[in-house]
Every structure is written in structure tokens, then in C-alpha cells.
Structure 1
Amino acid sequence: MELIEIINTAKQLNVREAMLENSTIKTACLNGLQMNDVSATNMKISDANLSDLEICYAQLGGAYIHSIGLPPEGHPNYDANARQRPLKFEDCYLAGSTVTNCDLSGVAISNCNLAGTTINGILVEDLLKAYHK
């Protein structure tokens, strides 16, 4: 396998039918990057600005999404006055997923199957029944 290093330069790459396994991209601008029909298993993205990211028709089984939001206090880019724009999940299969230690204030859930969904161990269906009595 050939190693190609692109350092401190501006390039536009058109990559087709390529195997880029175990490649590393650090301190790079990928604005406008488009990927289609790719395998990216075990891919890791960290310390990234993914604002306006769109993931469509993707299989994310086993994905571990964590520490999402604005930089925390102590981070060089922390801004106490900054507010993150909301995220939007639509037409997603999240059955069996876990949401832990997340700020869900102001979250709106509509037209979703909530069967078996619990909040702090209490079935949402039971909460809704109790609320509507």
C-alpha cells in the first residue's frame, strides 16, 4: 500500500473506488465534503465542528455518539454565552437505543412509536396514561 502525505497545502480531491483504510486526517478543513456509497466502519471523528452535518440513509448500528455539544468549560473554544442550534432526528430507527446523562430540555417528540420506552425506569406509556386521566 502506498503512503501519500498531503501537508500544509490546499487540494481538492476526487476519490473514486479507493481504499483509504486506516488513513488519518488531522487539522484539516473539509467544508463541503461529500461522501456517497462509502464504508466507514470504526471511523472516529473527534474535536470537530460538524455544524449542518447531514447523515442520510446510513446504517449506524453500534454507533457510540457522546460528548456532543459546544466546547465545555476549560476547553480553549469555550464560550459561556454560546448556544447550540438544535439537532433534528427524523425517520430514524432508534429501537433499543440508550440516552444517558443528556440535556433533553425543550425536546419535542412527535409521531413516534414509544412502546417500551422508559424515562428513569418508568414506561412513557404509563406516564401519558396518568397525565391524560
Structure 2
Amino acid sequence: MECERLEIVEAWKIIEAKHACLDYSKIEASGAEHMHWEDVSLVGTKIMNANMSHFEVDGAQMGGAYIHNIGIPKEGDLHYNPDIAKLPVRFEHCDFHGAQFTKCDLSNVELMDCEVKGMKINGILVEDLLKLISE
């Protein structure tokens, strides 16, 4: 099967693709709201300078993923929306074993029913900190 190049400029299109190869596609300065991706390979995909409010990822394998410079926009930022800024980011049923969080704002983060064995904060085991508090 030969790959066809399709260029869409200044147009409103709804694309329905099934069993299609969209590898190496590039979308810039465009709307892509309410898209639904199911059973797709996004290996090597980059999303940059995007407003991802209400974005959801479910059932994804993210080994080797690199997520950086992410946060809730502050007042004055390009994508700031006061209604969205109040909403928390949620992670549920995720396996982050061996993950590293570096220079992240974890203010008011709440861990509920999470396994913390071996988890360290600035090199100190959380288990040891919890023992100190309970003594």
C-alpha cells in the first residue's frame, strides 16, 4: 500500500480513520478537541505547547515515557482559565514503580491507598518518616 500525503490548511474537517497509518503526521496551530484514540500506537509521539484540560489517558503502556514541563497554568499564562486552574490532576490505578519526580510542585498532593514501600523523598525512605511520626 502506498502512502498518500494529504495537506489540510485552513479547513474544518472531521477525520474518521480506521485501520489507517497516520505515522509521521504533523499537526500545528490546529484544534484537536474531543478526539478519541483507541487501540492506537503513539510510540515517539510528542505533544507540545498544548492545552490538555480534561485530557484523559486510560489503559496506556508508558514505559520510557518522559513527561515534563506540565502543570496547571497560572494567571497570566497563555492557557490560563480560572475554572480549570481549580481542578486537580488525578492519577488512579497507575503503576509508577521506579518513577522519578524531579523539581515537581507536589504541594497539597494526597496519596490514598497507595503502596509506598521503597518510596523516598529527597533520599529519605517514607516508611522511616512514618515510623518517626508514629513514635
TM-score in terms of structure 2 length? 0.89
Task: State the alpha-carbon separation in 2 of the partners of residues 49 and 38 from structure 1.
Answer: 21
Q: Distance in 2 between matches of 1:89 and 1:38?
A: 21
Q: Which residue of 2 aligns with 1:110?
A: 112
Match of 2:40 in 1: 38
1:51 aligns with one of 53, 65, 87: 53
Query: 2:14 maps to which residue?
Result: 12
**1:110 shift after superposition:** 1.1
For residues 50-69 of structure 1, what are the structure 2 equivalents within 5 Å?
50-69=52-71
Distance 2:17 2:107 in 1: 41
Cα distance in structure 1, aligned partners of 2:75 and 2:113: 36
Give me the whole-angstrom Cα distance separating, in 2, the residues matched to 1:84 and 1:19: 38
Q: Distance in 1 between matches of 2:57 and 2:79?
A: 26
- TM normalised by structure 1 equals 0.91
Cα shift at 1:61? 0.7
Q: Which deviations, in whole Å up to 9, do the C-alpha atoms of 1:65-99 show, x marking residues without a partner?
A: 01002457996x276x8945310000000000000
Is the aligned partner of 1:122 residue 2:118?
no
Between the aligned partners of 1:88 and 1:113, the Cα distance in structure 2 is 16
> How many residue pairs end up in the alignment?
131
Instruction: Give the CA RMSD over aligned residues.
Output: 1.9
Distance change (3 Å), C-alpha of 1:74 and 1:88:
closer
1:100 to 75, 96, 102: 102
My pick for the range that moved more, 62-71 or 43-52, is: 62-71
Q: How far apart, CA to CA, are the structure 2 residues paired with 1:108 and 1:125?
A: 16
Residue 24 of structure 1: aligned partner: 26
**Structure 1 counterpart of 2:49, one-letter code:** D
Cα distance 1:46–1:84, how it changes in 2: closer, same or farther (>3 A)?
farther
The structure with higher relative contact order (CA 8 Å, sep 6+) is 2
Letter in 1 for 2:21: M
